[in-house]
Structure 1
């Protein structure tokens, strides 16, 4: 096999390019694991999940024509009222 002979300038250029790539990768790694970046990604993820849930509930409560789906709204109201009543009963039992 014939090896290509590289000049000192070519080797130095390769080393400089590798150094630049390494510096860029280290900077990216630091940005990925920095506490503020981790917190920002976590908050964005929670906001995205909450937004999707809100839209899912809204889609169930609103008809395609924009009117209120009274059946689903009544069921949701009954569930909320039942939950509040349950918590009130549990609270009164615990206070005795």
Structure 2
């Protein structure tokens, strides 16, 4: 991993940790797969911290530019899938 996670310095420490956990779940999904329930729970928490669609898009685009991992495509795939495990 040669990139940084997009962080908003107005977040509390626990919020920052939860956002990083979400991005780590996305990484895991792309690299080896992750349980759908874990990924969607991390996304739900991420949306509690970043409720604005425009802010979500900005943060996720920053993450995709630096990592190559699309959170949008992955979450869409997880929601539409009936499988218990998601792989990006």
Q: TM-score, with normalisation over the residues of structure 2?
A: 0.24
Higher relative contact order (CA 8 A, sep 6+): 2
| Higher percent of residues as helix | 1
Q: TM-score, with normalisation over the residues of structure 1?
A: 0.22
| Higher percent of residues as strand | 2
